Structure 1
Amino acid sequence: MSHKELQRVSAAAMVALLLVSLALVGCASELSGESYLYVAVPLTGDMASRGQEIAGGVRLRADEVNRAGGILGKRVVVRTLDDGGDGDTAVEAAQQVSAAVRKGEPVLGVVGHYNSGATGPALDKVYKDLDIVVVTPGSSNATLTQKGYTRFFRVVSTDDIQGPVDARKVLSLGWKRIAVLHTDNLYATGLASAFTDELKRRGVEPIVDIEMKYNNVGAYLRELQGNVDKTLALSPDGIFFAGDYPEGIPLLESLRTAGYQGGFMTGDSVMEYEFIDTLGSKAEGAFISNIQPEMAAAATESWKSAYRSLEKRSPGMDSITGYAAAQVLLEGIKQANTLRGAAVADSLRKLELKTPVGDWSADAKGDMRVRKIYLFQVRGGVFEQVGEER
């Protein structure tokens, strides 16, 4: 190669390198600053594992969006808030979001809260006055979308669908003497009521309805044996429990230890892998309904790998709902091309999106248009799906 040819090749290489550098600089300059996606979930207390799973799913979706160029030219930064699964603490968390909005910070919206008893007060006292969208990854109490809030959405089904499905299931199993036990939070009382109403509609009256403490495991455990004794004295052939896994696990443990071999059914907030890990063979045969598909079956292997790479741990049951909630919210902002909550909400009502929890679209109230209930039974140490209803 001659000296002149070498010069031409070198010049061409320099131009190519310069173009690549400019392209990289251009991509970086497109992300001019940060925008903030809040995640308000229980990060401490009895329900902390659920909150951590949700936050991990949100972070994964934010990471994917940032790699693809961010949202409205800004990098998505996830800010987590601990609501402790408690209504008062949830309001305090929501007030931190409100403060950020008042300061003029670019707030994308909120993924939260997990518990219906936390979401309700936060909506009533704070979010209703903010022009931002809130997408819950887990709150299923039906009344939340019956209050006229136009910027609130869900990525899960609701108790008024789940309760009747559960009631029909236990009746199909031949249960006649049915005991209903539940904790005293909004989620559990709503699910228990929907379950009981369907039983009564079909001519069956529960033999007992016992309400127990929520979010106070110490008090719950002190009263547990008495509640178990009271229930078993009535010789039920089936027990339905509405509550969360910190209460559901010791309940079934106590029932089996006392010699109860009858049927047991519970809802989505007990469907945690810890339920099987802790109870072992005592969990066998238990039926569980869920307002979302099981993570292990619904998520792809590449999705699970990406989650582990980012979070340095395996995804949990609610990692997919956190991801889906963030996916829905960020796609709504992208389609609306603005952070104004009213406009984002309008775009969400026109949106059809594939998510890890299934095909998502919303009705006028913010509920999913197609609300499925997934039925599982513990078999061989795993949650085996045994049905699906709408």
Structure 2
Amino acid sequence: MSRRSLARFVALAAILSMFGTSAAVMPAQAADQVIKIGIDLPVSGADASDGIPTQNGAALAVDEANAHAPKGIKFAVDALDDAVGGVHNPQQGATNIRSLAADPAVMGVVGPFNSNVAAAEIPVSNESGLPLISPSNTNPTLTKTAKYRTAHPNEITYFRVCATDDVQGKAGAEFAKTLGLKKVYIIDDNETYGLGLANVFEKDFKEMGGAVLGHDHITANQQDFKALLTKVAATKPDAVYYGGTTSTGGGLVRQQMGAAGMDPAKVKYEGGDGISDAEFIKVAGDAANNSYYTVAAPNAAKSASAQAFINAYKAKYHSDIGAYSANGYVAAQVIIAAAEKAIKANGGKAPTRAQVLKNIQNTSGFKSIIGTFGFDKNGDTTSPVIALWTIKNGAQDFVHQINVSTK
């Protein structure tokens, strides 16, 4: 080593020694405490056109929360898929909730999407104390009975921000009457959601003076409906009402009606929010036109308060929102607000799951892009809304919506 290099080395060592002691005693930067928001939705296969837009809405809420999160706190998404073979699966849903419940950092879950999946998940949620907030489950028995609260019947751990089928089915029957339908044939997928909705529609349509020409159930994974639809065609219905989802046959039933003797331009097709996805139009093809459906949530595009959300969603995901994107966003916001309230009460420390659950149970006057609401004693929203839609020229077209709580 040359003298000049040696001099430089000695000088550098001297400088480092000046800071060495102080650097050693400086405290390390504490890592943020992570609070996880679980998401359980069907995001693969035929159900993906429902699940992905809803998941995107929830994830966007988490992103925005981190922009103003309490000091030392970071929110994170833990998203799981409850579809198996491309279709929502109750057993997979229950497995997902057990996994999320086993992680103490998970304070609540947005989901599930489908009512039969909720029926499998609620017992797990109820036993573990893990809050679930569904953006889209509509079967009334999930909340209005203690049937699924097996461990703690009086403890509400499951909530929803959508309307229920006792009002959605009635709205569908009223919709049918306004469309001039007098004779309807009903088909359902024999699942918790589809069968329940179809039964409510049938009861209310009859009470309104409509005639139900028949009511049949299809089987899981059925693809060919020729025999059934030929039978239906012989009754000469004004419309076919389908209770179920696109993935369980809703799109194929409509697509195959023409070959069975029912011209889609003349015989209307009606259903609930199970056929509100883009997949229905894809599967039904041109026959999707002249179809009508109800959605158990408001049309966010018609809300002035939702415009910032819609713009942020399009900027991030480069696509339009789905029927339940706004509900997914709001469900996540409720969990985040409950966590932040507990953090404040704890003097900045991370909350317990029990604290978050208690705050969700006490939610009231919550201002959101889908309206101001709270949860009633059963966990249902206090401000349910039903939106009515049709399909024209291969595109979804909004008709109007009903605030059920004031109707």
The TM-score with structure 2 as length reference comes to 0.79
What CA distance in whole angstroms lies between the structure 2 residues aligned with 1:188 and 1:50?
Answer: 16
Q: CA deviation at 1:314?
A: 4.2
Q: Kindly provide the amino acid, as one letter, of the partner of residue 94 in structure 1.
A: I
Residue 211 of structure 1 aligns with which residue?
217
Residue pair 1:165, 1:389 contacting (<8 A) in 2 also: no
Displacement after TM superposition at 1:285 (Å): 2.8
Cα distance between partner residues in 2 of 1:342 and 1:121 = 24
1:189 maps onto 2:195 in alignment: yes
- SS of 2:58's equivalent in the other structure is helix
Query: Is the CA contact 2:389–2:396 (under 8 Å) kept in the aligned structure 1?
Result: no
Between the aligned residues of both structures, percent identity stands at: 24
Q: Counterparts of 2:126 and 2:223 in 1: how far apart (Å)?
A: 37
* Corresponding residue for residue 341 of structure 1: 354
Moved more, 292-301 or 280-289: 292-301
CA change 1:347–1:244 in 2 (3 A) is closer
2:50 matches 1:36: no
Q: 2-side partners of 1:356 and 1:277: how far apart?
A: 29
1:355 and 2:368 aligned: yes
* 2:67 aligned partner: 67
2 CA distance for matches of 1:346 and 1:108?
A: 11
- Aligned residue type for 2:100: V
Label 1:94 to 1:350 Cα distance change in 2 as closer, same or farther (>3 A).
closer
Give unmatched runs, 5+ long, in structure 1: 1-27
SS across alignment from 2:312: helix
Match of 1:265 among 257, 262, 270: 270
Contact 1:31 1:75 in 2 (8 A): no
1:51 corresponding residue in structure 2: 51
* 1:158 Cα offset (Å): 0.3
- Picking from 168, 171, 174, the partner of 1:168 is 174
Q: CA deviation at 1:268?
A: 0.8
Deviation at 1:199, TM superposition (A): 2.7
State the match for 2:78 in structure 1: 79
1:237: Cα distance to partner?
Answer: 1.4
CA distance in 2, matches of 1:120, 1:154: 13
358, 382, 396: which is aligned to 1:382?
A: 396
Contact 1:135 1:325 in 2 (8 A): yes
Aligned to 1:91: 94
User: Structure 1 residues 374 and 314, CA, compared in 2 at 3 Å: closer, same or farther?
Assistant: closer
The answer as to whether partners of 1:131 and 1:342 remain within 8 angstroms in 2 is: no
Matched, 1:330 2:336: yes
Amino acid at match of 2:90: G
Check conservation: 2:163, 2:386, Cα contact below 8 A: yes
> Which amino acid counterpart does residue 230 of structure 1 have in structure 2?
K
Larger CA Rg, structure 1 vs 2 = 2
Q: CA deviation at 1:79?
A: 0.6
Cα deviations by residue, 1:237-273 (Å, 9 ceiling, x for unpaired) = 1211111123222222222444432222111121123
> Where does 1:270-309 land on structure 2 (aligned, <5 Å)?
270-276=275-281, 279=284, 281-298=286-303, 300-309=306-315
Deviations 1:186-242 (A, max 9, x none): 11011011111213434545211111134x2xxx213x1122111111111121111
C-alpha distance 277-300 of structure 1, shift in aligned 2 (>3 A): farther
Count, aligned residues: 352
Q: 1:373 to 1:360 in 2, by over 3 A?
A: same
- Give 1:360 deviation, angstroms: 2.4
CA distance in 2 between counterparts of 1:153 and 1:340 reads 15
